[in-house]
Chains A and B, each alone.
Chain A
Amino acid sequence: MIALDIQELSKSFDSVEGRIPVLDSVSLQLQPGQSMALTGESGSGKSTLLHLAAGLEDPDAGQISIAGEALTGLGDTGRAALRRAHIGLIFQQFNLIPSLTVAANLAFQARLAGRHDPARIQTLAERLGLGELLARYPEQLSGGQQQRVAIGRCLAARPALVLADEPTGNLDEATGDSVLDLMLELTEADGVALLLVTHSPRLAARCAARVHLRAGRIGAVP
């Protein structure tokens, strides 16, 4: 089964200069366990594509399905349910719930999805080096630690697809690399598909596949 299937996706936004097309008939497939880097200039529409894939926004045209379930055509509630069940989202910041401890944050998504497994969370926390930080609150963590918690929370829920939008954009190079290493390793091991938005060709090179967004269309990496 295809983890992410995007067909002929189009999206444009209204602005003062008129309608700006951002995505123009984009198609894309991602297999389970596959990692794909999405690059492109600033403003090329990478985040928009990710938001559409997560059902956070509505496309103008085209089809999206995740783990075999059609996303397009679903209402607010249906899309939210699909997110709960199959998708893990990681943004550059604001990933964690500030009022919950690291431990509660780690377990949150898995409990929402009904796949809570304390042993797995324990393993993940150790693997991600969070064992000492479980009782802390997000504001008491460094940026790299916060992103590691976000990854752990995501993977603890065993999603079919992880969508990551510059997850290391706020981190220094060394920290960013180690976080990304962990993410690639863990998604591959669990057979989770990963779509990673990044500006860095170096990080993109570590993904199994690479696509480039230019003028609203998908092309080969230049």
Chain B
Amino acid sequence: MIRTALTALLSHWLRNPVQLAMLLAGLALATALWSGVQALNAEARAAYATAEGLLSDGGTAQIEHPSGQIDLAQFVALRRAGWQVSPVLEGRAEIGATRVTVLGIEPLTAPAGTGPTLAEPDLEGFFEGLGYAHPQTLREIGPTEMPLAPAEAVPVGTVLVDIRRAQRLLDAGLYITRMTLAQEQPQGLAPLESLAPDLRLVPPGDGAELGGLTASFHLNLTAFGLLAFAVGLFIVHSAVGLAFEQRRAMFRTLRALGLPLRHLTACLATEMVVFALIAGSAGLVLGYALAAALLPDVALTLRGLYGAPVPGALQFNPLWALAGLGMTLAGTGLAGAQALWRLWHMPPLAPARPRAWAMASRRAMRRQGLAALALAAMALGLALWGSGLLAGFALLAAVLLAAALAVPLLLALILRMAERRATTPVAEWFWADSRQNLPRLSLALMALMLALAANIGVGTMVASFRATFIDWLDLRLVAEVNVMPRNSAEAAELQAFLAPRTDAILPMQRIDATLAGQPGQVYAMKDHATFRDNWPLFAPVPDVWDRLAAGEGVLVNEQLYRRAGLRAGSDTLDLPGIGAMPVLGAYPDYGNPLAQAVLALERFNAAYPDTPIRQFAIRTSDAPALIAALQDDFGLPQGQITDQAQAKELSMAIFERTFLITRALNVLTLAVAAVALFAALVTLSGMRLAQLAPLWALGLTARELAALELGRALVLGALTLLLALPVGLALAQVLLAIINVQAFGWRLPLQLFPGDWARLGLWAMLAVLAAAALPAWRLWRRGPSQLLRVFAHER
């Protein structure tokens, strides 16, 4: 009996291959997008974990100097006093064809767990100068004289060597970068303050985390993945619902023949699970391919933007595959639950009523409208009074849901207006008929609206971010050349060398400090037009630059300004060693997780004497000549000079990569929405013959009818696009002004990119055209014979 039932149930799919294809495609696409994005995120996160484990020795405490350099003598003094510390020397150097981070450690004293756990460390070789690097780094380095061995555990872009080797590679003097502390320290140690008062102990896990920096990027990716998955579920939901509806008579017969409802349910559930597994596996393969295709771009973006060492090659993770399949199964269950519920509540011998389209009834429409209104009110309330990241996400969800629910209502309204204005009978029918069939398309149109709104919203956010960031980068990198002295002696020499050759020398000095209870830094700023003319400030007090130059206060970065709730002109900030300083204004500082305050150079040096100069920003009208002079006459290695024009170019290139990823995801989400629309239109085209037949009999040709069908899809698509525009902008505004501020502390101005909308509109129309083409074509080619059958009493 069960086998007979299964055969009967499956025969439906054989007779409706397009429906089956749609169901599987919907599931596979949803899985692919979701799991592809997850694979990217997981890969990046694994890379961060490696990096944090190695670079910042996440699990161990460290000793640092504000300048970033510790005299070797101090290290020796600590060792003599019994402190179990291990030296680390870190710096950038050119090896082979690329610049890498050279990380020098002393393997015998390095605390267990720090540094990479190499599988078979060749200690002897290590002491003799063997370096370890990620295979990808090795490829980037290319042929070199330095002995190098591959090690997966080393982050991309880093070469791990013995500290003596690092000293030679970095041309470093008698200093180290930091010390790591062993977990077990002997009893009764002399305190650090008495041995080396200028050093400070950094507890484990403190400091900048790559994960935090890149979180915004991954948040976007995840949001995209989730949205695509949701849109995919729309497809599955409509395909499953339709298949159940069409098999109602069959269910009835089977039950009349004595198949218990439980068995029928089990059969159908099995069918769903099998489909989910087949489509889910296909989706995983697709998702893996997608992630592998996108990863090089993502890796470059992350490496370039945040210096996060992400390898460009994807590794297969079985856990990821399982999670993806689980998500597919859960989604299918969600999509099929309603259909199964209806099955349980159908009296066994009830006549096969034509599907009672819930939304077609006026009452359901009204309920939907009320729900949309309630959600909109909730969104408004959240926007006005909500606070916190959670409220931000709730607002986002409320806006999207309210808009999606409102789509059919607004479309119906527009179509009714158009119908009133129609002058020809065919036009009148066109609008009336579009309105009548709206309920059957509304789910797909809602999905399309969501996809378009997300495209516009995320696109606007990314583009706003890019525009703002590039402007800001331009201002930040306004100096033509940057030079990094190795120590204070060289700094003094450089200053003397540069003074007659440049327009201005702007030294960069900073100390680490706790600002308003947050980890942060205090910077010195020389009073100069470079800053006065270029730094965008918000909420500055009058004569802000003069007052800053006079040492009367500080500027703070936006993160600190917002998080500490400071007000320029009225509030003060406590600086170590100085005390309360008035806040004079705030400046944008995108991507920086740390709090920052800027102090006039003179005031800074008075408060924190002997802070080393880390960098000179140099203004000059002839950068190439200056760089040549620095190299040839002064003898400064190339590694200590940065040409800002090149740095800028690099940043731009990285942003283009970010755009590529966003665009690829945009196109994919849109494709999923197009499939949803296609599913709905194919379904509809079967039911529409009886609606179209009278028109054909009245003297419209099948070709005209097909053209009208195509036109209807385009009109509905265009109207949906129109509705998606404000929703997308609202979405962007929520992302930029609320979520970003809550999550990262800075706010971006919303900028409009009509060119992008036009391009998106074109894409959307192409997608709609693709979705509507097959049903229209079938109507045109096979129309007459099928339409005739309507009248031939075959129904």
Contact = CB atoms under 8 A, between A and B. Distances in A.
A222 B693 CA distance: 35
A205 B790 CA distance: 29
Contacts of A98: 436, 690-691
Interface stretch (B485-493, B696-704, B742-750): B696-704
Nearest to B434: A99
Contacts of A91: 697, 791
A81 B784 contact: no
Contact of B429 (A57, A81, A87, A97): A97
B697 A112 contact: no
A100 B695 CA distance: 12
Interface residues of B, number: 31
B643 interface: no
A57 B696 CA distance: 12
A97 B691 CA distance: 6
A112 B698 contact: yes
B433 interface: yes
Contacts of A87: 699
Contact of A111 (B425, B697, B702, B704): B425
A193 to B, nearest CB: 18
B428 A104 contact: yes
Given A94-B690, A94-B791, A98-B436, A109 B784 contact: no
B697 A100 contact: no
A99 B691 contact: yes
B792 interface: yes
Interface residues of A, number: 31
A111 B694 contact: no
Contacts of B196: none
Contact of A94 (B435, B437, B693, B784): B693
B694 A96 contact: yes
B425 A76 contact: no
Nearest to B787: A56
B792 A47 contact: yes
Contact of A56 (B695, B788, B793): B788
B699 A94 contact: no
Nearest to B428: A104
B634 to A, nearest CB: 84
B425 A89 contact: no
Contacts of B693: 94
B766 interface: no
A107 B694 contact: no
B716 to A, nearest CB: 15
B703 A76 contact: yes
Interface string A33-51: 0000000000000010001
A76 B705 CA distance: 12
A57 B702 CA distance: 13
Contacts of A85: 699
Nearest to B690: A94
Given A57-B788, A94-B690, A97-B695, A108 B701 contact: no
Nearest to A112: B425
B673 to A, nearest CB: 26
A56 B694 CA distance: 12
A92 B426 CA distance: 24
A99 B433 CA distance: 5
A76 B697 contact: no
A89 B788 contact: no
Counting from the closest, the 7 A-B pairs by CB-CB distance are: A84-B699, A83-B699, A99-B436, A111-B425, A99-B433, A99-B432, A80-B701
21 contacts: A47-B792, A56-B696, A56-B697, A56-B784, A80-B700, A83-B697, A83-B699, A84-B699, A89-B697, A94-B694, A96-B694, A97-B433, A97-B691, A98-B436, A99-B429, A99-B432, A99-B436, A99-B437, A100-B429, A108-B698, A109-B698
Interface of A: 47, 51, 54, 56-57, 76-77, 80-85, 87, 89, 91-92, 94-100, 104, 107-109, 111-112, 165
Interface of B: 424-426, 428-429, 432-433, 435-437, 690-691, 693-704, 784, 788, 790-793, 795
Given A51-B791, A100-B428, A108-B698, 17 more contacts: A51-B788, A56-B696, A56-B784, A56-B788, A81-B699, A84-B698, A91-B697, A94-B795, A95-B697, A97-B695, A98-B436, A99-B436, A100-B432, A104-B428, A108-B429, A111-B424, A112-B425
